[in-house]
Amino acid sequence: MEEKLISQKKPFYPIVSGLATFLKSYDRWIEIPIHYSDLLRFTGSVVVYDKNDNDTLWVSVYFSDTERREIDFHLKKIYTLLHSDGNESGIQYLNVDSIDYCTFGNSKPFRIKIRNILNDNFTYYYIKQTDASRIYGLEFEHMLSPYNLNFLVNNNTLIEEHISGIPGDTFIKEFLPNCNNSEKAQIAKEYVKFNERCMIRLLGDMRAYNYVVVPTHDFDQVVYKIRPIDFDQQSFEGKLSVYRPQFFKENIPIMDLVRTKLNHDSISQYKIEERSIVARRIISSGNRLKKLLDIMQVDQLTITRNLERLRKEIYKFTKDKAFLDSKSMGDLMRATLNFVRFHYEKVNMQDLI
């Protein structure tokens, strides 16, 4: 049963000095003018409903007039820091349309909607409590996935850009039934690759509302990609199944597609393709990934029983003794990436021979 996959609420882990130094060296660390705790001082809220009048579990918050003016300016400043060089000359053309607070989940983020008053274009970003697990998850996504991520952080506040797409649960309910057979087969393929990518980099809890489906029009077809949007459960849980989206009940409709649209050989081939792509990214990431893993190896990111269980389950899955020797989640991540890279290079060496 899905409710047994997630064993407990994950605690927030602090940023250690080594990780802070890493973030500063790659221009992630910044002194921001407003913090997560400042936004918690809202004086009231109203429920945000979707187009069908369903409660979205977000509330739109408001502040006193005197505080709102200062908060609005600082939120615009953060937008310029996130998307530009922090220059304040364009702030006069920005408007904070809404500040929403999520009442569901572990991180309880604020969602900020910024609109350009000259052309009515708008975008979102998120303000969250800092958590080392999430930072590692964001960095691994940036280095090992097809997508670059933009975020800023300091000791107590994390700023994340918005990842556009259709929330997985919405897509499954409202869009998937209308896809044609070719599109369903393509979604099944992408889901196999997404499932493999999450498992390789130990990104857990990819229930349908924690990822988005991104449709892109390409000539006479629509191509679908799947992107995670929540990195809270990076390398914490002890069950390997938590890092495999296929085991969550919310994803059953897409798993049914995989079973009906793909045969065993196709599934195996797509897994191999994804491992090869990740292996190339491991190689091309160079010293940046090595530095992050060095820091993660000595960082405390889980509890002992989770680590002990996960290393045994991965060993059973791979038969690689490096997992049994792991003393931290950083060790497990390094062993996992080494395993993927080794098998990729072994196959390619055979091809050369």
pLDDT computed for residue 348 by the predictor = 66
User: In this structure, are 146 and 196 located in the same domain?
Assistant: no
pLDDT number for residue 4: 64
Same domain? For 183 and 314 the reply is: yes
- Indicate the burial class of 244 (C-beta count within 10 angstroms; 0-12, 13-18, 19 or more): middle
The verdict on residue 313 lying in a domain is yes
pLDDT tens, position by position, 255-303 = 999 999 999 999 999 999 999 999 999 999 989 999 999 999 999 999 9
Supply the pLDDT for residue 353.
39
> Per the structure block, which two tokens stand in for 54?
């369903």
Q: Is the pLDDT of residue 70 over 50?
A: yes
Reply yes or no on whether the pLDDT at 177 is more than 80. yes
What pLDDT was estimated at residue 150? 94
- Are residues 97 and 189 both part of a single domain? no
Least confident window among 1-5, 91-95, 273-277, 345-349? 1-5
Which of 215 and 86 is assigned the larger pLDDT? 215
How would you classify the pairing of strands 221-228 and 122-129? unpaired
Among 1-5, 45-49, 177-181, the range scoring the smallest mean pLDDT is: 1-5
Task: Say yes or no to pLDDT of 75 above 60.
Answer: yes
Task: Give 86's pLDDT tier (boundaries 50, 70, 90).
Answer: confident
Q: Among 113, 146, 161, identify where a domain stops.
A: 161
Give yes or no: residues 252 and 282 share one domain. Answer: yes
Report, as an integer, the average pLDDT of 63-72. 92
In a domain, 3, yes or no: no
Mean pLDDT of 211-217: 95
| pLDDT, tens digit, 9 for 90 and up, residues 98-132 | 999 998 877 899 999 999 999 999 999 999 999 99
Given a cut of 90, is residue 9 above it in pLDDT?
no
49 plus 80 within the same structural domain: yes
Same domain, 114 and 200: no
How far are the Cα atoms of 19, 132, 288, 298, 304 from residue 295, in angstroms, in the given order?
A: 6, 11, 11, 6, 18
Distance of CA 321 to the CA centre of its chain: 29
Residue pLDDT, tens place only, 310-335: 999 999 999 999 999 999 999 999 99
Tell me what pLDDT residue 50 has.
87
Token pair recorded at residue 224:
């679908």
Within this chain, do residues 184 and 311 fall inside the same structural domain, yes or no? yes
Report DSSP state, residue 13. P
Q: What was the pLDDT predicted at 171? A: 97
pLDDT for the residue numbered 347 = 65
pTM: 0.92
- Burial degree of 341 (CB within 10 A; 0-12, 13-18, 19+): middle
Print the domain residue range for 271: 166-352
- Residue 9 contacts by C-beta under 8 Å, 6 or more apart in sequence? 106
Contact 218, 185 (CB under 8 A): no
Tell which of 161, 177, 199 closes a domain.
161
Half-sphere exposure of 167 (CA within 13 A, CB side): 11
> Are both 144 and 231 inside the same structural domain?
no
Domain end residue (candidates: 120, 143, 161): 161
Cβ proximity of 23 and 159 under 8 Å = no
CA distance 241 to 38: 38
DSSP three-state, residue 225: strand
* Cα–Cα distance measured from residue 5 to residue 202, given in angstroms and rounded to the nearest whole number: 14
| Cβ contact 58:102 at 8 Å | yes
Does a structural domain hold residue 2?
Answer: no
pLDDT score for 123:
94
Per the prediction, the chain carries an average pLDDT of 92
d(CA 261, CA 282): 31
pLDDT digits over 293-310, tens only? 999 999 999 999 999 999
